[in-house]
Chain A
């Protein structure tokens, strides 16, 4: 409690509570109380906002981290702005993502089945393409040749799905996907899941690099991913992109 004698002589309680609330040092109950107070006490709320402004420059020191592609779908669904059939290419776009269930199922079936399915999948899509198909695959293997991940890539949309083929990662580490155009340095494509198929949307600036002969690679990184935009952990698997 803050009523102890050892804090006597410190500045008035109210102003400090707002500062402590914004700084984030209050325990669950006190944080909850402060949060509720901010809702009903405009002076307290203004105090908290002022502290946010004072500390805001520190936010600049926090590095952005790529967000899993699927999160946007979850938000669209949660707020009800994704009624099926509203976007201009809904079928091509959503069928790709809805097929994730199949991709997940396939991660059990292994690489051969995956390659076969990828071929079927793309062949099936060719019958109704909005643009000439531009589909690619990559198998990312260890140095000894054992495949650890496969990626199927739609060059038109910049979407790819990475499928792990049974890879063990330490519990306190994450895996990050990289695109390495010939003669260039690695560009992060964000964190992926080592347990299940994972969709990735390649940023538009990198789309042109998503081509045959470029490498895709997976590195093991600390939580949050490589802090400075370049791999810091070991590259556990890599492979060249090939046209399907």
Chain B
């Protein structure tokens, strides 16, 4: 994942945070918290839950910044995935029903990547590759996988919202993921 903020700067701040540098931690927070808040709000229907999760994410970062491994992910990817994971944890444990969740229409191909995703020099190779491979999936698999990623929806929720049998939804997604992996590794 690329971003406007300098990844090298973020990496330095993470490293300094691991040494207990509160100033670096605050700069890291200022630079990344709006993005991470966007990630949390995408998954969690409740704004106050999203705020609590964001707070929890940054307290975790403060304590566990040393666990960041630059060989495995960019700083922003690591942080955003951590936030996404915590938001999904929260979504699963809170009994709150997702209120405004729209039905999913599998007959219609909802996959319409933002123009910036495919065109333009700023689109990274990774993002172009992911989109190319996603385009090779059947539309229903594509739609389900994207919805799952952006909303953190479970198999059950996807089945309910798409009006499809649970077994089929599981099967479509699993096959889609296997296809995606094979394509990305080519």
Contact = CB atoms under 8 A, between A and B. Distances in A.
Contacts, number: 163
A67 B59 CA distance: 16
B167 A6 contact: yes
Interface string B103-147: 000000000011011000000101100110000000000000110
Contact of B41 (A65, A75, A78): A65
Nearest to B144: A25
A90 to B, nearest CB: 14
A184 interface: no
Interface stretch (A51-59, A95-103, A120-128, A140-148): A51-59
B34 interface: yes
Nearest to A61: B114
A19 B175 CA distance: 11
A81 B25 contact: yes
A54 B37 contact: no
B59 A20 contact: no
B178 A64 contact: no
B77 A56 contact: yes
B130 A55 contact: yes
Nearest to A82: B22
A54 B85 CA distance: 15
Dominant secondary structure at the A interface: helix
Contact of A71 (B51, B62, B72): B51
Contact of B170 (A7, A31, A75): A7
A71 B33 contact: yes
B96 interface: no
B34 A26 contact: no
Interface string B44-85: 010100010011001100110000000011101100110011
B170 A2 contact: yes
B102 interface: no
B145 to A, nearest CB: 7
Interface in A13-45: 15-16, 19-20, 22-28, 31-32, 35
A224 B41 contact: yes
A75 B131 CA distance: 37
Given A25-B158, A60-B1, A75-B29, A49 B41 contact: no
Q: What are the 8 A-B residue pairs with the smallest beta carbon separation, nearest first?
A: A57-B127, A64-B34, A28-B92, A24-B152, A81-B22, A56-B1, A11-B178, A65-B38
Interface of A: 2, 4, 6-7, 10-11, 15-16, 19-20, 22-28, 31-32, 35, 49, 52-68, 71-72, 74-75, 78-79, 81, 172, 174, 191, 223-224
